[in-house]
């Protein structure tokens, strides 16, 4: 993560106005604006594979929605706007102040890890996401080799983790019946 040079702390209103004016994505952390680095082709392949599978899985179901990449999540407890790679929402989408680009109720979040962001995604960002009452599952996907970390909420203060490293392994989500092999997650990824 690279922080934008700042003269002062930004208000939420200043951040949202800036986001509408520029093409680059920035996260907001309690007054600080953080520039988001661009992804790789492998990153996009993984997101495309998962997003397509989720959208196909939910075809005809009105109670699930999938957001990929460009939709923010607002975490009021931490005063943060973050950009997850993929979010799944169950039920009605709840928007932050009726903004169509920001939701507050993701059920499942996927992040594709890169070397510059993996510590942040596993640590601070996961901590922020846990402040969302709707949030139940967190899936971290390495883009450099077969490796998936699947966190499942057990209680407000307990999460279970499963590691998968074999292309034959199958990621099984707990909050709805969705399965995807690691071979399909990593389809066409070139190491």
Query: Cβ distance 34 to 19 under 8 Å?
Result: no
pLDDT single digits (tens) 93-138: 999 999 999 999 999 999 999 888 899 999 999 999 999 999 999 9
Block residue for tokens 């959208």: 55
The number of folded domains in the chain is 1
Asked whether residue 45 is domain-assigned, the answer is yes
Asked whether residue 12 is domain-assigned, the answer is no
Asked whether residue 1 is domain-assigned, the answer is no
Q: What is the dihedral of CA 77, 18, 25, 86, to 10 degrees?
A: 50
| C-alpha triplet 52, 56, 61: angle, nearest 5° | 135
What is the CATH number for 50?
3.90.1570.10
Asked whether residue 110 is domain-assigned, the answer is yes
Asked whether residue 11 is domain-assigned, the answer is no
Asked whether residue 24 is domain-assigned, the answer is no
Asked whether residue 19 is domain-assigned, the answer is no
Query: Cβ distance 107 to 129 under 8 Å?
Result: no
- Domain extent, residue 119, equals 39-185
Cα–Cα distances in angstroms (integers) from residue 131 to residues 4, 63, 69, 173, in the given order: 25, 23, 20, 20
Q: What is residue 172's predicted lDDT score, i.e. its pLDDT?
A: 98
Asked whether residue 4 is domain-assigned, the answer is no
**Cα gap 116→37, rounded to integer Å:** 9
DSSP string, 73-115: EEEGGGTEEE--SEEEEESSPPBGGG-TTEES--SEEEEEE-T
pLDDT in single tens digits along all 191 residues of the chain:
444 444 578 889 888 888 888 777 887 888 888 877 767 899 999 999 999 999 999 998 889 999 998 899 999 999 999 999 999 999 999 999 999 999 999 999 999 998 888 999 999 999 999 999 999 999 999 999 999 999 999 998 999 999 999 999 999 999 999 999 999 999 999 98
């Amino acid at each position: 993560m690279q922080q934008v040079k700042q003269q002062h702390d930004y208000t939420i209103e200043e951040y949202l106005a800036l986001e509408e004016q520029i093409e680059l994505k920035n996260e907001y952390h309690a007054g600080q604006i953080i520039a988001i680095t661009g992804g790789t082709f492998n990153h996009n392949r993984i997101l495309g594979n998962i997003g397509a599978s989720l959208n196909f899985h939910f075809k005809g179901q009105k109670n699930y929605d999938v957001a990929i990449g460009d939709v923010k999540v607002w975490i009021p407890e931490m005063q943060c706007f973050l950009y997850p790679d993929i979010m799944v929402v169950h039920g009605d989408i709840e928007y932050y102040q009726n903004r169509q680009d920001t939701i507050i109720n993701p059920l499942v979040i996927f992040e594709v890890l890169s070397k510059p962001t993996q510590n942040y995604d596993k640590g601070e960002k996961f901590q922020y996401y846990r402040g969302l009452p709707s949030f139940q599952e967190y899936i971290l996907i390495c883009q450099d080799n077969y490796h998936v970390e699947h966190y499942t909420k057990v209680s407000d203060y307990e999460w279970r983790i499963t590691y998968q490293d074999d292309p034959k392994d199958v990621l099984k989500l707990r909050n709805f019946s969705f399965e995807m092999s690691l071979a399909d997650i990593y389809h066409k990824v070139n190491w």
